[in-house]
Amino acid sequence: MTFSDKAVAARAAALAAATPGDWLSLVLDHHLQIESAFVWVRAAANAGQRRLAQKWLGSLVIAHGHAEESVLYPALARRGRSHKTWHMELAALEMLDPLTRTHSDRLEQFQASLLHHFREEEGIWFPELHRKQTALEQADLSRRYREEFERRLGHDRAA
Ligand SMILES: [Fe+2]
Ligand SMILES: [Fe+2]
């Protein structure tokens, strides 16, 4: 998977706009963690390891999507943005034998659509929202985004 110059520039600009610990920096950090989780799924030496890595990927994707959905997208909704969760893609992967070609093709498609989605968020939607917020609004969204992410991740790992 390669990144276009435009995608790299957009991420660099979003990183520069974010303050460590605020919601935008957390989102970018979670996008990076999700991208590395794909690397771990592919690097797994056997089916058991691959399932484990895939479970971690799924937990991150769900917790991140949940936090965005409950905290950030309501703020974007006024501008007509809707959000995609990835339950279907994750469920489809779980049903496949992780050592087959079908699985790796499906993983590839999932990663491509997720990365496309990250590019939209990082390139326009989130930096625009971040720019327009007051310090108070940013602090509120940052606290809530962090809480929702951690709560969902904890819930998923305890299951
Ligand atoms: Fe998202
Ligand atoms: Fe995201």
Residues 80-116 have pLDDT tens digits of 666 778 999 999 999 999 999 999 999 999 999 999 9
Structural domain range at position 44: 18-158
Distances (CA, A) of 125 to 2, 19, 90, 152: 22, 17, 25, 23
pTM summary value: 0.93
Ligand nearest to the CA of 70: 1
Residue 46 C-alpha to ligand 1 middle, in angstroms? 30
> Which tokens belong to 62?
């769900």
What is the pLDDT, as a whole number, of residue 8? 92
Q: Separation of 77 CA from ligand 2 center, angstroms?
A: 15
Question: Which pLDDT score, from 0 to 100, does residue 1 have?
Answer: 66
Is the residue at 8 inside a domain?
no
How many angstroms separate the CA atoms of 75 and 111, rounded?
Answer: 26
Q: Is residue 128 part of a domain?
A: yes
Summary mean pLDDT of the chain = 92
pLDDT at 76: 84
Distance 82 CA to ligand 2 centre (A): 12
Does the residue 40 lie in any domain?
yes
Q: At 144, is the secondary structure helix, strand, or coil?
A: helix
Residue identified by tokens 């660099």 is 12
Does any domain span residue 81? Answer: yes
Helix ranges (DSSP H) in the chain: 5-17, 23-43, 47-67, 73-77, 87-95, 101-120, 126-132, 135-158
pLDDT band at 64 (very low <50, low <70, confident <90, very high): very high
CA of 30 to the centre of ligand 1 (A): 10
* 3-state SS assignment for residue 58: helix
* Residue 41, domain member (yes or no): yes
Rg (CA), the chain: 16
- Within a domain: 5: no
Say if 126 falls within a structural domain: yes
Distance 27 CA to ligand 2 centre (A): 6
Residue 144 C-alpha to ligand 2 middle, in angstroms? 15
**Mean pLDDT within 129-157:** 94
Residue 134 alpha carbon to ligand 1 centre in Å? 22
Q: How many angstroms separate the alpha carbon of residue 150 from the centre of ligand 2? A: 15
Could you tell me the distance, in angstroms and rounded to a whole number, from the CA of residue 65 to the centre of ligand 1?
Answer: 5
The total of structural domains in the chain comes to: 1
